[in-house]
Structure 1
């Protein structure tokens, strides 16, 4: 199992709040031997600009999007961007994709959130076709290239990519989307993955891999995990509580919140319903307070280096191949110290990257 760093959004609380801090964290992660740094996007900063900037300030650590939003870009634009970032980073780019959710897709990008699995399959088909410099002609349910009733003609990517097979990752929470990731991607981007329930998700991934006649060997299972280090576990949990509450309570509508469903089906159905109800009713403080300590402890790395080392072993034994950590520092010094504590915990756990 390898370590990764998830920067999340510029301008947000925690890692990645300021560009210069992001660069400091990534350079330190590179020095410590972290394998990859990921940048995210929702409706704040975009992932691409930050990674282009970081590519110029690093030399070994890989750089990935976790994720680029499928509703935000055409498949051809995504392929062009991936090829460019891979060239700028000397072959260190990983393309993470996700459908986002109905609120962002329809409210922010004006794209219908319908049949997301079928749309994702076609999207990845076109991205791979483009990166391999094939002439792009595609007749799908959601994408038709060129349009049949206009002057467009099939085109080919006008640059030679550094790599024609840039690794593609899919962000997936639900079982069907996880199976799809196993079938069409090179890696799976998960969030709030609990080692105690990881076997269920890995079974879905295996089903997807079996559809193409392969197994999980070489497939990257990525778990995005919040981290807060310190002596008092309860205090550490409080530092990640608002982050987790925001996803479970507010990332989606009452009918469509994938993170809320995930919490419910892993043993906390009543608590998930309560957190979402309070959050969407505007009682944010009460929603944060209602987030159970046990769920936070299962889905984050909290406490001392020794305690975190034990939990790292659990993730490795569960089948995670990249643990992508999200830090919540009060300042740069604390952030750097957290990264060093993670590297120390990996060493104590005896985990080889």
Structure 2
């Protein structure tokens, strides 16, 4: 059975407490984990610490912590501390993000993203195991660090995000799981073949590699409002967040639509960008509409073989009340 978790809102929320409240609602409704994106809002460390302190059972994790703005050693220390604070409920998602974020926001060269991700995984595991860090890689050469506290009693799984064939293969070969976002059912199945190839190359047990799909969802009695919000969300990501979402859509058979959305957005014509997102495309990438329709659209992702978890995400324009309504409607116990 596919697990359901929450991918907390990427859009700015009124306060840290509001994010904690959403995680508490998720816990009460049976969701297994609260994933927190880290983009232009609050940092994941402070928010996840607050959630850990105010909840009892729900898992926590960043999705995704980029592998440029913090050193791998620091990220290993951070994971160690969050695992202690949460009493063993942490799972970490990492990934390279893209040039628009890394170079534009953080001022770091977007260099060798796949190799860098692999080295982060290896370095973080050494740090969290409490071993002395002596690492000689292509990106990092590190020596002498060792935790001066106890390593986590429960090892922290490290998932890797990826959209292209090689990044997904890397997740299968080296990480404890793969985080997928902006995928159609057919596109996801194709990438799962890359994940399986990575698992084979790494001599891994498939049961040890978990697949999590972050899925934009909006379930409202006003079904048109829900679909409008989801359409705006998709147009923003394809049009404003660099090239990787556009390239992923193109690989999945929507090359013309991806190009047209991005071109219209770049010209400032956001209304035209929305017009290029057909109902078919919207349904292929999320679960939005009335409660009945959203549940139906969600099921077609949950039945995919190889998907272990659906992380219910929310359109960036949704209000707190609309997010709460979606959490309630799509809850596992519902």
Q: TM-score range by the shorter chain?
A: over 0.9
Flag the 1:331–1:269 CA change in 2: closer, same or farther, 3 A. closer
Q: Which runs of 5+ in 1 are unaligned?
A: 147-153, 349-353
Contact 2:221-2:291 within 8 A present in 1 as well: no
Report whether the alignment pairs 1:193 with 2:183.
yes
Q: SS of the counterpart of 2:54?
A: coil
1:155 corresponds, among 128, 138, 145, to 145
Return closer, same or farther for 1:103/1:330 CA change in 2, 3 Å cut-off.
Answer: closer
Q: After superposition, what is the alpha-carbon deviation per residue over 1:110-158, rounded to whole angstroms, capped at 9, x for unaligned?
A: 2211211111111211111111111111111110113xxxxxxx12111
User: Are 1:59 and 2:56 matched, yes or no?
Assistant: yes
- 1:324 is aligned to 2:325: no
Residue 73 (structure 2) pairs with residue 87 (structure 1) = no
How many angstroms apart in 2 are the aligned matches of 1:234 and 1:285? Answer: 16
Q: Deviation per CA, 1:270-295, whole angstroms, max 9, x where unpaired?
A: 11101111112222332233223221
CA contact (8 A) 1:8 1:38 kept: no
Cα distance change on mapping 1:347 and 1:206 into 2, 3 Å? same
- The whole-number CA distance in structure 2 between the counterparts of 1:330 and 1:224 is 17
Partners of 1:330 and 1:235 lie apart in 2 by 10
Q: Could you tell which deviates more after superposition, 212-221 or 65-74?
A: 212-221
TM-score when normalising by structure 2: 0.93
Tell me the distance in 2 between the aligned counterparts of 1:226 and 1:109.
26
The aligned residue for residue 24 of structure 2 is 27
Corresponding residue for residue 270 of structure 1 = 256
Alpha-carbon spacing, 1:17–1:203, altered in 2? closer, same or farther (3 Å): farther
Report how far residue 347 of structure 1 moved.
Answer: 5.3
Give me the TM-score of the superposition, normalised by structure 1: 0.88
- Aligned pair count reads 331
Pairs within 5 Å for 1:1-353: 1-9=2-10, 12=11, 16-146=13-143, 154-163=144-153, 165-231=155-221, 233-252=223-242, 257-318=243-304, 319-328=306-315, 331-343=319-331, 346=332
- Compared with structure 1, are the counterparts of its residues 218 and 233 closer, same or farther at alpha carbon in structure 2 (3 Å cutoff)? farther
Larger mean CA deviation between 267-276 and 187-196 belongs to 187-196
* Contact 1:206 1:215 survives alignment (8 Å): no
Mapped to 2, the partners of 1:17 and 1:240 lie a distance apart of 21
Q: Is the 8 A contact 2:9 2:314 kept in 1?
A: no
Q: Is the partner of 1:302 in helix, strand or coil?
A: strand
How far the C-alpha of 1:248 sits from its partner, in A, is 0.8
CA RMSD of aligned residues (A): 1.9
Query: Could you say if the C-alpha distance between residues 331 and 179 of structure 1 is closer, same or farther in structure 2, counting changes exceeding 3 Å?
Result: same
